[in-house]
């Protein structure tokens, strides 16, 4: 699913109105009706107080239409106009008159703190104060109103996006942004819904199709793409019945040190569970028996050194080399890594200590084969590219980094981002239970397993992240967030593939 900027969405609105010969008020009615249907489907006429807070622009106009439709269906609705400006949009004024004609209970005009209404814990609050057009932080009594709503403990539904949240930058006033329980957004999700510093304001999210011009949406280049089941499925390459293990490639996993061989077990297991035809591991001698007993399906090669990797002697023509998990940063290991880089021509997958070696020895980056995949978590990324001021600055720095070295970066997080030159892919699967030791090792193995099967490195990264997250979701269903471990993610990879290929399943907000 495409993620568009505020200016692209406004252009889509304009083209839609022109091509469909409708007014902006008609489009507002269409969008707000979609919101009403979602509310009505969930509340089913429940007798609970609904308090709709409307700004005086078009987001407020949406709120007025929603309130009118709720009133027409006999809901207990109170409308509040947040009078932050003397200016009103034409569509706001038109819908204000409509709601005024429907009920004698006129909307309440809020002009300051003395006008704040009581909000009880059981209330249902609709936030329609500001939308994607906001370009400056909330101030004064309006900011206090937002904080007042946040502290009320009522259920808060944000329309299109939480008030106070910018579409293209991070607000410095954390207390002046609505913290929604749920956000119903129009046509396309917004990038800020997935950034670590802003995603908590959004709560759960659902995208509502409001019928914007299909041709425009299909042709426009998005700022990012959200990867759901439909997108992941389009990347999957089904197997030919007349196949053998040689058709599905050979993964070489290089890693481990004394006490850290388990990370190599996880990565190699994941590569095989993802479909690699063969997997060979190169570990210190201390890992030989561990690997042979833990994973008999893998072939094992060892370093001369018992505790660490010092000399990677192998003439294997692997389709992909996965390096870094548990390997440590000893000087002899760094020298061995440099020699491996120099002789490797095919894309590599680099994780964990491999990334840390790069951050301390930047000159080694020049030897990375083009389209290699780096899989950092935020701290590892910071050590690689330096500090950033906010998430948008981070994105810029990542893009500069990958242009320089012609790489793919998989930034792990609650929503894992895959960065390729000029493109961003955001994953929709995964859960908090995956914040456990070894989860990243599994991801590296998954991506490596896909590359070995002749998936382009970018597609392997995007599909691999999706499958990794889906396997984590399946694991959590079985074991809970707290009870799952990273080995579960590797073991359930087959079920993630099965889910990808099964019929009539979707990911809310992504398909």
| Residue-wise pLDDT tens digits, 41-68 | 999 999 999 999 999 999 999 999 999 9
Residue 132 is labelled as binding a ligand: yes
Residue 488 is labelled as binding a ligand: no
Q: Is residue 279 part of a domain?
A: yes
Q: CA–CA separation, 280 vs 346, rounded Å?
A: 16
Q: Is residue 387 part of a domain?
A: yes
Report CA-CA distances (Å) from 121 to 28, 47, 49, 153. Answer: 30, 14, 10, 5
Residue 262 is labelled as binding a ligand: no
Residue 386 is labelled as binding a ligand: no
Residue 207, domain CATH: 3.40.50.10260
Examine the fold and report which residue of 187, 222, 257 is the final residue of a domain before the chain moves on: 222
Instruction: Give the residue with greater pLDDT, 503 vs 244.
Output: 244
pLDDT in tens, 179-211: 999 999 999 999 999 999 999 999 999 999 999
pLDDT band at 247 (very low <50, low <70, confident <90, very high): confident
- 510, pLDDT greater than 50: no
Q: Both 109 and 217 in a single domain?
A: yes
Q: Is residue 507 part of a domain?
A: no
Residue 204 CB coordination number (10 Å): 11
Residue 243 is labelled as binding a ligand: no
Residue 119 is labelled as binding a ligand: no
Residue 319 is labelled as binding a ligand: no
According to the model, what pLDDT value does residue 100 have? 85
Residue 133 is labelled as binding a ligand: yes
pLDDT band at 106 (very low <50, low <70, confident <90, very high): confident
According to the model, what pLDDT value does residue 506 have? 47
Residue 412 is labelled as binding a ligand: yes
Total domains, the chain: 2
Secondary structure (DSSP) of 366-434: GGSPTT-EE---HHHHHHHH---SSHHHHHHHHHHHHHHHT-EEEE-SSS-EEEETTEEEEE----GGG
pLDDT in tens, 368-409: 999 999 999 999 999 999 999 999 999 999 999 999 999 999
Residue 468 is labelled as binding a ligand: no
pTM: 0.94
Residue 492 is labelled as binding a ligand: no
Residue 57 is labelled as binding a ligand: no
According to the model, what pLDDT value does residue 28 have? 98
Q: Both 132 and 89 in a single domain?
A: yes
The arithmetic mean of pLDDT across residues 94-118, rounded, is 91
According to the model, what pLDDT value does residue 504 have? 55
Length of the chain: 511
Report CA-CA distances (Å) from 88 to 81, 179, 284, 378. Answer: 11, 25, 71, 43
Q: Both 467 and 322 in a single domain?
A: yes
Pairing of strands 155-159, 408-411: unpaired
According to the model, what pLDDT value does residue 377 have? 97
Residue 440 is labelled as binding a ligand: yes
Q: Both 393 and 481 in a single domain?
A: yes
Q: Both 251 and 204 in a single domain?
A: no
- 508, pLDDT greater than 60: no
Q: Both 211 and 324 in a single domain?
A: no
Looking at residue 164, the DSSP 8-state letter turns out to be T
Residue 137 is labelled as binding a ligand: yes
Q: Is residue 319 part of a domain?
A: yes
Pairing of strands 423-427, 417-420: antiparallel
Q: Is residue 511 part of a domain?
A: no
The CA-to-CA distance between both ends of the chain, in Å, stands at 7
Residue 63 is labelled as binding a ligand: no
Q: Is residue 510 part of a domain?
A: no
Q: Which two tokens stand for residue 106?
A: 């006129």
Q: Both 211 and 267 in a single domain?
A: no
Residue 496 is labelled as binding a ligand: no
pLDDT band at 301 (very low <50, low <70, confident <90, very high): very high
Q: Both 31 and 158 in a single domain?
A: yes
pLDDT band at 244 (very low <50, low <70, confident <90, very high): confident
Examine the fold and report which residue of 168, 188, 222 is the final residue of a domain before the chain moves on: 222
Residue 105 is labelled as binding a ligand: no
Examine the fold and report which residue of 222, 254, 272 is the final residue of a domain before the chain moves on: 222
According to the model, what pLDDT value does residue 258 have? 98
pLDDT in tens, 127-170: 999 999 898 999 999 999 999 999 999 999 999 999 999 999 99
Residue 43 is labelled as binding a ligand: no
pLDDT band at 103 (very low <50, low <70, confident <90, very high): confident
In which domain, by residue range, is 422 found? Answer: 232-237+246-501
- 292, pLDDT greater than 60: yes
Q: What is the dihedral of CA 292, 295, 298, 303, to 10 degrees?
A: -40
The arithmetic mean of pLDDT across residues 416-428, rounded, is 97
Q: Is residue 227 part of a domain?
A: no
Residue 414 is labelled as binding a ligand: yes
The arithmetic mean of pLDDT across residues 15-28, rounded, is 98
Instruction: Give the residue with greater pLDDT, 444 vs 422.
Output: 444
Residue 163 is labelled as binding a ligand: yes
Q: Both 171 and 130 in a single domain?
A: yes
Greatest C-alpha distance within the chain: 87
Residue 91 is labelled as binding a ligand: no
Residue 290 is labelled as binding a ligand: no
Q: Which two tokens stand for residue 124?
A: 């249902």
pLDDT in tens, 447-497: 999 999 999 999 999 999 999 999 999 999 999 999 999 999 999 999 999
Report CA-CA distances (Å) from 25 to 13, 43, 62, 79, 189. Answer: 11, 26, 9, 19, 22
């Amino acid at each position: 699913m495409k993620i568009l900027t505020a200016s692209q969405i406004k252009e889509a609105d304009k083209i839609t109105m022109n091509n469909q010969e409708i007014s902006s008020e008609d489009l507002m009615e269409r969008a707000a009706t979609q919101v009403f249907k979602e509310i009505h489907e969930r509340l089913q006429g429940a007798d609970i107080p609904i308090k709709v807070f409307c700004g005086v622009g078009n987001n407020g106009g949406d709120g007025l239409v929603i309130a009118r439709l709720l009133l027409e269906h006999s809901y207990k609705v109170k409308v509040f106009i947040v009078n932050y400006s003397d200016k009103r949009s034409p569509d706001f004024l038109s819908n204000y008159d409509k709601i005024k004609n429907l009920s004698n209970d006129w909307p309440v005009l809020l002009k300051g703190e003395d006008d704040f209404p009581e909000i009880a814990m059981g209330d249902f609050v609709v936030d329609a104060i500001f939308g994607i057009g906001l370009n400056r932080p909330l101030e004064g009594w309006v900011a206090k109103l937002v904080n007042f709503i946040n502290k009320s403990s009522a259920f808060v539904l944000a329309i299109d996006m939480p008030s106070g949240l910018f579409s293209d930058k991070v607000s410095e006033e954390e207390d002046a942004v609505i913290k929604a329980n749920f956000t119903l957004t129009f046509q396309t999700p917004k990038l800020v819904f997935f950034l670590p510093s802003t995603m908590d304001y959004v709560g759960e999210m659902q995208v509502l199709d409001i019928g914007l011009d299909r041709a425009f949406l299909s042709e426009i280049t998005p700022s990012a793409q959200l990867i759901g089941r439909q997108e992941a499925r389009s990347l999957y390459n089904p197997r030919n019945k007349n196949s053998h293990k040689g058709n599905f490639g050979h993964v070489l996993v290089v890693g481990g040190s004394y006490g850290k061989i388990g990370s190599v077990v996880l990565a190699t297991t994941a590569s095989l569970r993802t479909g690699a035809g063969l997997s060979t591991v190169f570990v210190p001698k201390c890992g030989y028996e561990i690997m042979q007993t833990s994973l008999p399906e893998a072939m094992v090669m060892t370093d001369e050194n018992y505790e660490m990797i010092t000399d990677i002697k192998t003439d294997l023509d692997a389709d992909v080399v996965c390096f870094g998990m548990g390997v440590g940063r000893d000087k002899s290991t760094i020298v061995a890594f440099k020699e491996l880089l120099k002789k490797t021509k095919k894309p590599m997958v680099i994780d964990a200590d491999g990334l840390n070696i790069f951050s301390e020895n930047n000159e080694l980056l020049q030897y990375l084969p083009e389209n290699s995949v780096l899989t950092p978590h935020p701290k590892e990324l910071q050590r690689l590219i330096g500090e950033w001021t906010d998430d948008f600055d981070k994105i810029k720095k990542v893009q500069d980094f990958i242009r320089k070295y012609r790489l793919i970066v998989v930034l792990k997080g609650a929503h894992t981002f895959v960065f390729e030159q000029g493109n961003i892919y955001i994953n929709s699967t995964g859960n908090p239970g995956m914040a456990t030791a070894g989860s990243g090792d599994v991801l590296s193995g998954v991506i490596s397993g896909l590359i070995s099967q002749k998936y382009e490195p970018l597609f392997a990264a995007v599909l691999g992240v999706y499958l990794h997250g889906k396997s984590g979701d399946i694991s959590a269903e079985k074991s809970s967030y707290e009870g799952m471990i990273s080995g579960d993610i590797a073991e359930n990879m087959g079920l993630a593939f099965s889910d990808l290929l099964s019929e009539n399943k979707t990911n809310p907000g992504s398909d």
